[in-house]
Amino acid sequence: MEITLCSLIALLGFITIANAQTVFDISKCGATPNSDITAILTKTWTDACASPTGATIVIPAGTYKCGVVEFKGPCKGPITFQVDGTLQAPTSPDGDSWITFCSFENLALTGTGTFDGMGSAIYGKQKSKAVNLRFNFITNGHVEGVTSKDSKEFHVNVLGCKNLTISKFTVCAPEDSPNTDGIHLGRSNGVQILDTKIGTGDDCISVGDGMEQLTVERVTCGPGHGISIGSLGQYAGEMPVKGIFVRNCTLVNTQNGVRIKSWPDQEANDVSDIHFEDIVLDNVENPIIVDQMYCPSNLCKSKGASKVTISNVSFKNIRGTCKLPEAITMTCSSAHPCTNVEMCDIDIKCTTGPAKAVCTNVKPIITGIMNPPGC
């Protein structure tokens, strides 16, 4: 049997540290800065995943090249992945993913390091659609402290996860980087995004179908396209979205503020129990949007009414400044008007003239301050 240095570390760890996690420092496993550590990381993951007491994988300070990798479970114990260095993606990775964590329980991704997707050199001309970080079917996960930089596509994609917290996370990419959503989520339950700073070229946070019980708090967004529910109603078989709470967030120089968007006349879905509260706007183009005629690049099959129903939505204590006059635009479906929409203490001032509100197929319940009026 081949015994690598990391394997030996694991064996010794089992013998000498009962009921404690074994530490795998990749610098002790042959990794050196400015080298490709893909093979070392893959082997280290295999050893760490087999540790019955759990394991910590450490990537120390330094810059390392890393190819496409999937860290897949199930594992025998909890895994902590501590990244303090910078990982650099291939220029043209195969497939739609760079680094994927998949199918296990009790993951902690921590540190002060950076996942550099190396997208800046190819924005506007890239063929690659690789997402920097994918979290697929993770139960009881925690991501804290690390940075996603210049992803070629979405920075983070969350799918099929339960009880995942992302905190003190940073996303950075140019304002003109295409389709680089900061954190995209779908078909997951019990996710929290806390104390996070996102600046990118698309939605800071985008919520796809099947998302339930999402909490977003103390997030700063900008540049970017704001915080969005959707788009929904494009594909058959979409699952309902419900229980989304966005609180105490700040949007600075973004294209949109808080938004719900669905495609016209394609597929049915249901959006309910959505709440935006205590939102600060700083020079946002379109602060509050419900757009049920969402049709990017004229890709719609029809301009008919959206089949997505929207209900039990609240916008509370949203204040600040906007660039364009239409501070509030709510275009709901003529076939399924929005119901039980509450607006409370809205105070938005336009920097280029009088602000206005335009509402179609919705009669919001208005309490407290309503500036601008019109709905």
* Catalytic residue positions, numbered: 225
Instruction: Report the alpha-carbon distance of residue 287 to residue 319 in Å, rounded.
Output: 9
Instruction: Report the alpha-carbon distance of residue 137 to residue 73 in Å, rounded.
Output: 10
158 - beta bridge partners? 135, 185
Q: At what angle do helices 38-49 and 5-16 cross, to 10 degrees?
A: 30
Closest of 368, 341, 365, 346 to residue 281, by C-alpha: 346
Closest of 302, 230, 318 to residue 266, by C-alpha: 302
Question: Following CA atoms 217, 218, 220, 221 in sequence, which dihedral angle do they give, to the nearest 10 degrees?
Answer: 10
Rounded to 5 degrees, φ, ψ at 49 are: -65, -25
Task: Compute how many other C-beta atoms are within 10 angstroms of the C-beta atom of residue 93.
Answer: 19
One DSSP character per residue, 255-323 reads SEEEEEEE-SSS--EEEEEEEEEEEEEEEESEEEEEETT--GGG--S--S---EEEEEEEEEEEEEEES
One DSSP character per residue, 135-179 reads EEEEEEEEEES-EEES-SS-SEEEES-EEEEEES-EEE--TT-TT
Instruction: Report the alpha-carbon distance of residue 310 to residue 129 in Å, rounded.
Output: 31
**140 and 161 in contact (C-beta within 8 Å)?**
no
Q: What's the distance, Cα to Cα, between the start and end of the chain in Å?
A: 73
At 40, is the secondary structure helix, strand, or coil?
Answer: helix
